[in-house]
Structure 1
Amino acid sequence: MKRITKIISAILAVLVVTAVFAGCSSSNDNSTANGFRTLDEIKSSGTINIGVFSDKNPFGYVDENGEYQGYDVYFANRLGEDLGVKVNFVSTEAANRIEYLQTGKVDLILANFTVTDERKEEVDFALPYMSVSLGVVSPKSNTITSLDNWNESDSMIVISGTTAETYLTKNYPNIKLQKYDAYAQAKTALENGSGAAWANDNTEVIAYANQNSDFVVGIPELGSADTIAPAVTKGNDTLLNWINDEIKALGKENFFHKDYEATLLDTYGKEYENQLVIEGGELASSTNDTAK
């Protein structure tokens, strides 16, 4: 009888402990019930987690001192400063930007994220801060100037999860795609001749060609112009609204032109500044006669 009593007591103890942990878990889940941290929760924590590239110079990269640098990083640091919190940079790749938001690994993505209708279904985009098109870079010895007469034995290098991959799959299904997760891998493949050309944001391929004299951007604009914008988890309205207000406020001080001049000027020069920069979230304000 005593043995049965002990067994019952042990079972009851396990049930009590399980209930306590379940209660704690429920309490924690309620604070992030929607899968994201609200603006107030971010402020209370003292840290905002921002996803950026670590290998895409000059937009997001890690320098020789192990510090994040670049156009997106410059913007991210200002957001942290105005929020009054520390920025925790999280290295991301193109293919996992949406995943990192949906799993709560980051609060915000600032990684050259092109706005598309398909992505709008999965994340919420803030106002844009940059204009971009697709471009194609190839060796000077075999410059690709058109995709209409593509050699079917050749392959096009793309980064998985980018608009270049989506555009080519839809509009040029005959072109074989050679996909990589990291920008460094794509550049190595191009240099080794693994692919005939590399399609990506024109900002990226122009920068690459400027730094590598054996390559040229034979197609500077492919498809229609798009915009780059911050992205938050779907439904995170408090953070989204704050970022939109911040972008409008920063536009009044020409912040994004200052960002360009601090991080992109050496790569692109003055001729691309007004073509690429969007101030205050207003696309029309960034266009002029230099944008062709």
Structure 2
Amino acid sequence: MAKDLGVKPKYVSVDAANRAEFLISNKVDITLANFTVTDERKKQVDFALPYMKVSIGVVSPKDKVIKDVKELEGKTLIVTKGTTAETYFEKNYPNIKLQKYDQYSDAYQALLDGRGDAFSTDNTEVLAWALENKGYEVGITSLGDPDTIAPAVQKGNKELLDFINKDIKKLGEENFFHKDYEKTLHPTYGDSAKADDLVVEGGEVK
């Protein structure tokens, strides 16, 4: 994308909770940080066409694996602040105790330390993590309606938004996102996920 724009990209690290804020305050021009499209976020930023689709997943220790959301009642669920998982559980399961962290790394460490019974975020995240941490299992692979992940720009930045959408469509014609999945994500997921279940090609959700 930067190549097509003719610029050199500068990468900025963001927490899940401040992805929109960094756009609003002009700290970044584009957010590409596992940013799930929601109606609430649409009030703050403009989303381009999506490139991935996800659901909420829950990972827990294999010897005490959580396979049904009802099993979380009376237990502590770890979430990252500002994520769709946090919003989903607050809205649909207010009786489940949430333990919140600013960083994904801190949330995963809390699970490893036994400070919570399970951790919830996008299924793409927990599936990859569980493959690298053999004592853990994604007992719940899909909660709620599927969501999409997309680039975001500052509200009203139509010129940049139109460019990104045009670029995503062009890349879709080259099957870029499937090729990129095979190169970057398939080595992580292996047979636990299929490209067509996660990848959105050319911005068209199927």
Q: Does 1:251 align with 2:152?
A: no
Per-residue Cα deviation, 1:26-81 (whole angstroms, up to 9, x for no partner): xxxxxxxxxxxxxxxxxxxxxxxxxxxxxxxxxxxxxxxxxxxxxxxxxxxxx111
Q: Does 1:81 align with 2:3?
A: yes
Indicate the residue corresponding to 2:190 in structure 1. Answer: 269
Query: Of residues 143, 147, 159 in structure 1, which corresponds to 2:80?
Result: 159
Query: 1:36-185, aligned counterparts within 5 Å?
Result: 79-152=1-74, 154-185=75-106
For 1:145, give the aligned amino acid. Answer: K
The separation in 2 between residues aligned to 1:265 and 1:95, in whole angstroms, is 28
The separation in 2 between residues aligned to 1:129 and 1:122, in whole angstroms, is 20
The separation in 2 between residues aligned to 1:90 and 1:258, in whole angstroms, is 25
Query: 1:188-203, aligned counterparts within 5 Å?
Result: 188-203=109-124
Q: Does 1:227 align with 2:152?
A: no
Query: 1:195-214, aligned counterparts within 5 Å?
Result: 195-214=116-135
Per-residue Cα deviation, 1:75-103 (whole angstroms, up to 9, x for no partner): xxxx1111110000000010000110000
**Aligned 8 A contact 2:73 2:95 in 1:** no
Gaps (5+ residues) in structure 2?
A: none
Q: How many angstroms does 1:151 deviate by?
A: 3.7
After the TM superposition, which segments of 4 or more aligned residues of structure 1 sit over 4 Å from their partners?
A: none
Indicate the residue corresponding to 1:37 in structure 2. Answer: none
The separation in 2 between residues aligned to 1:254 and 1:100, in whole angstroms, is 30
Over the matched positions of the two proteins, sequence identity in percent amounts to: 60
Assess, with a 3 A threshold, how the Cα gap between structure 1 residues 184 and 149 changes in structure 2: closer, same or farther.
closer
Greater RCO (Cα-Cα under 8 Å, separation 6 or more): 2
The separation in 1 between residues aligned to 2:143 and 2:73, in whole angstroms, is 18
Q: How many angstroms does 1:263 deviate by?
A: 0.8
For 2:25, give the aligned amino acid. Answer: T
Gaps (5+ residues) in structure 1?
A: 1-78, 285-292
TM-score by length of 1: 0.69
Instruction: Give the greater-gyration-radius structure (CA).
Output: 1
TM-score by length of 2: 0.97
For 1:161, give the aligned amino acid. Answer: G
The separation in 2 between residues aligned to 1:228 and 1:150, in whole angstroms, is 26
RMSD of aligned residue pairs (Cα, Å) = 0.9
